[in-house]
Amino acid sequence: MIGIVTTLSSLEVQPEFSMVELTISTEYIINTDFITRLEVYGTTDSLLKYSWNIHDSRMAVQSLYVNETNAAVVALADVAAASNMILLPVYEDAISFSEAVGQTPVDKYFNIADIVFISENTAGTLARLLAVTGGFEVREYIINYNLAQIIDIVVTGTTTTTTSTTSTTTTTGG
């Protein structure tokens, strides 16, 4: 299940590909299905061994230290999604937040199992989603929702939102 909204407290190794730049003290939604090992770290944090592409055994596993207890990580992993698919407004030609300016988002379905992680811009208005698009391919998308709106869609199947370009009610199904 995709669903841990967490803040990284530390990183150990950067992943092999340069499109992923994780920042300490930034919130992320991470896919708990990509956790290959969970360990206690300190008194209140967890160490996650995290695979950037669980379909490709050649991909290096990264150590993520998160501000969540192991019990919280397990509880969040057990939350059921409203659907296996989610519909999100994507800026198709943008690979950075600045490139999304002036574009109109188009709706695109994502299989939740293929989402690696999601982060948001500093204004909290857009999100960057990384998803497995093929056996070995990972692609980045700019989304016209923030983290809270995406979690709302995943958990409830719907969200009433006001974004930078639209006011919509979205219901997903699949």
Asked whether residue 98 falls in the same domain as residue 51, the answer is no
Average pLDDT over residues 50-76: 78
**pLDDT for 103:** 94
Quickly state the pLDDT bin for 10 (edges 50, 70, 90): low
Asked whether residue 92 falls in the same domain as residue 110, the answer is yes
Looking at 27, 46, 77, the residue that finishes a domain is: 77
Above pLDDT 90, what percent of the chain? 21
Looking at 17, 50, 77, the residue that finishes a domain is: 77
Side chain identity, residue 63: S
pTM, to two decimals:
0.78
**pLDDT for 107:** 97
Do residues 115 and 130 lie in contact, with contact meaning Cβ atoms separated by under 8 Å?
yes
Asked whether residue 94 falls in the same domain as residue 150, the answer is yes
Asked whether residue 160 falls in the same domain as residue 122, the answer is yes
Asked whether residue 70 falls in the same domain as residue 98, the answer is no
Do residues 60 and 79 lie in contact, with contact meaning Cβ atoms separated by under 8 Å?
no
Q: Is the pLDDT of residue 88 over 90?
A: yes
Asked whether residue 110 falls in the same domain as residue 163, the answer is yes
Please report, for residues 7, 54, 93, 110, 172, the alpha-carbon distance to residue 2 in angstroms, rounded to integers and kept in the order given: 15, 14, 25, 12, 15
Nearest to 52 by CA among 33, 24, 78, 80: 33
**pLDDT for 45:** 85
* Tally of structural domains, the chain: 2
Quickly state the pLDDT bin for 17 (edges 50, 70, 90): very low
Distance CA 87, CA 38 (A): 30
Distance CA 13, CA 127 (A): 23
Average pLDDT over residues 79-87: 88
Domain limits for position 7: 2-77
**pLDDT for 119:** 87
Distance CA 102, CA 60 (A): 36
- pLDDT averaged over every residue in the chain: 78
Residue of higher predicted confidence among 9 and 47: 47
Asked whether residue 123 falls in the same domain as residue 155, the answer is yes
Asked whether residue 36 falls in the same domain as residue 95, the answer is no
Nearest to 84 by CA among 109, 52, 60, 117: 109
Looking at 61, 77, 93, the residue that finishes a domain is: 77
Tokens of 100: 């999304």
Quickly state the pLDDT bin for 82 (edges 50, 70, 90): confident
> pLDDT of 126-154, one tens digit each?
999 989 887 678 889 999 999 889 988 98
Lookup result for tokens 């857009």: 126
Side chain identity, residue 161: T
